[in-house]
Amino acid sequence: MNLRHSLSITLSNSGLILKVLLYTTVLFLIVFALFTAITEPIIEALDSDVDLMEELEDDIAALFGIGSRRPGGSINEFLNKNADSLARAAVLYLLLFILLRFGVAFAIVPAGFYIYNKMSANFNCGFINATVSTGGKAALFALTYTALTVPTDILILAGCYFLATWLGGAVGIPGVAIALLILIALLALRLSLTARWIPEMISENLKFKDAAKAFFTRYDSAFVKEIYPSMLFLLIFAGGLTLATAVETLGIVPIVVLPAAFVAHAAISMTGYFNVMKRKYYIDERVIDPNERF
């Protein structure tokens, strides 16, 4: 029920998907510009200190045991000479990644507010109005959510990487596939565990600190069970479709898939909350009564 209704809500809000697409495009352009500004000095230093073609030829010659390394700059010398600049760039890359996660997390709140108004009153409040109305809560949520989920996701990715390395060495490709399935399952669980925060804050009109307190002090197993299959499907479908179409469509399909998945995440979370709380909601003109399935 959650998945079917969430998909219906997502597809009926194509306007929101387009607005999220515009938002993410601007966000990624800003991040890309900052990434280029950080990377350009490193590329210039690398180009001036190291002849990459000679370095490659020397490595091939060393591999086959012919010739000898020519005098001049090497990768190791470049690393030693520019250690401070590279360390500074690494810190800036990390901050840039955190900024990107903050920007994405910020949009979760207005998207949820937009979906809530559509479900509760069949009212289109507009994404810009939703952003203005929830800006303060969205900023506080994004800060807290980023601080909570970035380390969690890194731990999940690192753990699954080492698991894939171990299983891959033990049983080959099937072991890597098992590690990938575990990764998807854990990411879906992480999304499910953090998904109640926004619907509860918006639906109950809670202040941020009250919503945060409720999130950190109360675990709702019924809500997690309600939305976990939908989150799992979302990750598998969106990830699979992105990988399958990235090359053939020159990245056009993934550009649309990612904002659609973002809206679907908001729809799954809000639908799950309405279902667990047994509150009626709209899908376009149709009224859904969660009590009818119990």
Which pLDDT does position 63 carry in this prediction? 53
Give the tens place of pLDDT for each residue, 173-182. 999 999 999 9
- What is the distance between the alpha carbons of residues 118 and 172, in angstroms, rounded to a whole number? 49
Which pLDDT does position 60 carry in this prediction? 56
Give the tens place of pLDDT for each residue, 227-271. 999 999 999 999 999 888 888 887 788 888 889 999 999 999 999
- What is the distance between the alpha carbons of residues 264 and 44, in angstroms, rounded to a whole number? 42
Give the tens place of pLDDT for each residue, 18-58. 999 999 999 999 999 999 999 988 887 777 666 555 555 55
Is residue 287 within a helix (H) or strand (E), and if so which, with residue range? strand 286-288
Q: Give the pTM.
A: 0.86
Give the tens place of pLDDT for each residue, 70-115. 444 566 676 777 778 888 889 999 999 999 999 999 999 999 999 9
Alpha helices in the chain (DSSP H): 2-11, 14-49, 52-64, 75-81, 83-121, 127-171, 173-193, 197-203, 208-217, 221-245, 252-277
Which residue, chain included where needed, has tokens 């509860």? 200
Over the chain, what is the mean pLDDT?
88
Which pLDDT does position 66 carry in this prediction? 53
- Of all residues in the chain, what percent carry a pLDDT higher than 70? 88
Residues in the chain: 294
Is residue 283 within a helix (H) or strand (E), and if so which, with residue range? strand 281-283
Torsion on CA atoms 207, 190, 193, 272, rounded to nearest 10: 100
Give phi and psi for 288, each to the nearest 5.
-105, 130
What is the torsional sign of CA 30, 31, 34, 39?
Answer: negative
Where does residue 242 rank: exposed (0-12), middle (13-18), buried (19+ CB within 10 A)? middle
Q: Residue 204 in 3-state DSSP? A: coil
- What is the distance between the alpha carbons of residues 42 and 34, in angstroms, rounded to a whole number? 14
- Of all residues in the chain, what percent carry a pLDDT higher than 90? 67
Mean pLDDT of 134-157: 95
